[in-house]
Amino acid sequence: CERTAADFGRHRAAQDALAQAQADERAANALQVELASALKTIDAQSQAIQAAEHRLSEARQAAQERDRLAPLAARQGELEEHLNAAKLARQKLAQFQREEAQIASDLASAQQEADRAREQIAELEAKEALAAQKDTHRATLDRLQREGAAQGEREKRRASLADQRQRQLGRISAAEDALRAATEQIAQAQAAEREASDLAAREQQAKDLERRIANLKAEISQAERSLHASKGGMCPFLKEPCQNIAQRGISSLSDYFSAQIMQQMEQVLPLEQQHGEVLAEVERLRALQSLAARGPEYAQAAAKARAECDEQRAELSRIDKELAELTAVPFDPQQHAAAVAEAEKLVKASAEADRACAKLPTLRSNFTRFSENVAKLAARRHQCIAEIAAAQEQAKLVESFAAELRALGDPRRQLAQCEARAQQMSGIQAELAQHAQAREAALAQRAAIQQRLAPYAGLAERIAALQNEIAATAAAHDEHLRHQAEARRLPEAQRAAQTAQEDVAKAEEAYQAASRAYDAVAATFDTAALSAANNRLQEMGNELAALRERLGQARQRAATLDAQIAEAETRLTELEAARAGRAETEATTSLLAYCRDTIKEAGPFVMRALLREISSQANRIFGEIMGDRSATLTWQEDYDIVLRSGAYERHFAQLSGGEQMSAALAVRLALLKTLTRASVAFFDEPTQNMDDERRTNLAAQIRRVSGFDQLVVISHDDTFEEGLDSVIWVRKEGGESAVESDPQATMPAPIIPFPAAIGA
């Protein structure tokens, strides 16, 4: 370090001077970059000035073209506005037409609603007087009921018999109506049978006409083939004019065959017309024959209705006999029962009238709303008609405007382009001045940078001299640094040497002790025996693993064989049982196939027979419910319900709400009556999810059903309480149902014998 200290100092001084020189070099380089940038800016601004002068020339030309295109663009705008208006009118024309059609439909519907509301209002206004007497009729009925209750159980029985007699008369009337209807159907079937006796003759006539028409058509086909063979009027065999035709005064064979074809066609046309008329008559007679074939069915229905009449008359006789026995009492139960029945009828009628009249304010409000809607729709329809006419006139101008626009081209787009270029003139002029100013600034910047670079002249030579000085002293500098770092470690190295000498002495002592212990053990150890024992241990372990694997495989194989043996024994037992029952199964299968085919073939006939019987029952029940037997209800083979009134036919979807309810009820009761032969029907909550009017209608309809020994209604609705034989009220007490008295009745609840109609 002492020998290289002088060169070390020179090297450090040269490095410092070189750093300063390199900093000056970087500053000079930066100025050179600025100078190059200034030169580039001068060149770019010169090119930008040339481009701006060219664009300025184009902008001046665009300004001249703009003046020429301005009127053409204005005309284009006018034509496009007219064309868009005409197209819009054409588009709106279909919209107006659809709107007018929709408004016309809505107007008709609104008028129908208004008319229906007017009819309902008139019908309900006629009931207002009856509704006003509701309290009077109720008081009369209460008085009569108190008088009847005072007569005791005898009067109750008498009143019950009188009520039963009234219902029995209704049943007799219904049975007589059914008998009359069946008798009329029998008469119709007999008349159809007499008229259908001419069917065979008509069918033979149709066949004769078909045969004659076929013969004539065959002759026509033959004549057409002859006509084709005699082209040119020559004989098809001699290839010369036919002498026989010439003697008849006919010019050629073609004329002869053409005349034959025309003559035969004239005979065919009236025969085909007659054949069509005969076929229509045959179809009519076949329909009558089908009607006549239902004669036994009508006879069976008549016999059933006659038996029903006899049964109901016998029941009426029994009731009259029991009533006659009760008439010996001074009290006149029949007169009292009639008064009670009349009072109940008046109470019911007045209550129904009162409920119906409660709808009058709503109906009147609806009628006013419907009338206002009709007026609005009519006004809007007139407006749409006027708009349609105006749109039609304007839509006619679409093609003329479009043609003029095509001839004109697109001057507006050209004008916009010229306008855009012309509007750039002032900007281009400003841009031109800006580029000139920038070029002058760049020239000034170049002069300033060149002046700032002057002090850095000779910088490269000075840097080279300093680098030579550094290179000349580098070896001494590096050697000084290398020895300087090592010289600083001298005290530490001396301490480490002392510690290492002490550790060597301790290690030598430990090594001597370990050598002595190893020599003592090595004298008694057998290396060959250890190696042999390790080899034997490894061999025995391998043998044990192989034996364990073989044992597991053997156990698994044994379990598999046991399971297969057990399964085989089970299968053998099942096989014997299956063989024993195979013959029986084959015989049963054959019998079942025969039965299935027979039932399958009979299915459609059974279904049609059931449908006819169900339709008959449903028609009878529907007539009783509606109180009108002028219409006929049928249940079709596609399970659709059809109501026929004369020649008019309506399907289920076309019926009113009340008719649909009555028809569905009739079909369900007919199904119950026909398929189960049951005489008891249960109605569980039948008025659920119904409004007041439909609940009242359904209650009245159910009370008019006959043909059942008992109808039971279970409901939380009190609509059914009026007009039933018996009513039982039930309430919950401690989680159990208990029969209670009517809270509105003045007498205790009667003991109700079964059967009875129940309202819960």
Answer whether residue 156 shows pLDDT above 70.
Answer: no
How confident is the model over 223-240, as a mean pLDDT? 65
CA-to-CA separations, 731 to 684, 724, 754, in angstroms, rounded? 17, 20, 20
Determine the average pLDDT of the residues in 200-216. Answer: 84
- Per-residue pLDDT reduced to its tens digit, 399-415: 676 776 677 677 777 77
Residue 519 has pLDDT above 50, yes or no: yes
What is the tens place of the pLDDT at every residue in 317-359? 888 887 777 666 556 667 777 887 888 888 888 888 777 777 7
Q: Mean pLDDT, the chain, as a whole number?
A: 78
Question: Please, where are the H alpha helices in 358-489?
Answer: 360-395, 398-408, 411-453, 459-487
Task: Give the distance between the most distant pair of CA atoms in the chain.
Answer: 169
Structure tokens at 575: 């096989």
pLDDT (mean) for 669-687:
82
pLDDT confidence of residue 230: 66
| 424 pLDDT above the threshold of 70 | yes
CA dihedral 368, 370, 375, 379 (to 10 degrees): 150
Q: Which of 105-114, 172-181, 231-240, 484-493 has the lowest mean pLDDT?
A: 231-240
What is the per-residue pLDDT across 251-300, written as a single tens digit (0 to 9) for each?
666 777 777 778 778 887 888 888 888 888 888 888 877 777 888 887 88
C-alpha span between 118 and 366 (Å, rounded):
10
pLDDT of residue 759: 39
DSSP 585-623: HHHHHHHHHHHHHHHHHHHHHHHHHHHHHHHHHHHHHHH
Mean pLDDT to the nearest integer, 114-132: 79
Element (H, E) at 712: strand 710-714
Q: Please list, in sequence order, all residues whose beta carbon lies within 8 angstroms of the beta carbon of residue 717, skipping any fewer than 6 positions away.
A: 685, 687, 695
pLDDT score at 399 = 67
Of 564 and 80, the one with more pLDDT: 564
Q: What is the pLDDT of residue 165?
A: 83
Q: How confident is the model at residue 760 (pLDDT cuts 50, 70, 90)?
A: very low
What pLDDT was estimated at residue 150?
Answer: 56
pLDDT at 750: 42
% the chain with pLDDT above 90 = 0
C-alpha dihedral (266, 267, 273, 276), degrees to nearest 10: -140
Which residue shows structure tokens 């090594």? 511
Residue 148 has pLDDT above 50, yes or no: yes
| pLDDT interval class at 745 (50, 70, 90) | very low
Dump pLDDT digits (tens) for 89-114.
666 667 767 777 887 887 788 788 88
Is 0.75 topped by the overall pTM? Answer: no
**pLDDT at res. 93:** 66
Nearest to 665 by CA among 710, 697, 628: 697
Of 647, 670, 669, 667, nearest in space to 659 by CA: 667
Mean pLDDT of 482-498: 81
Q: Do the beta carbons of residue 106 and residue 325 sit within 8 Å?
A: no
pLDDT (0 to 100) of residue 751 = 38
Residues 6+ apart with CB under 8 A from 144: 336, 339, 340, 343
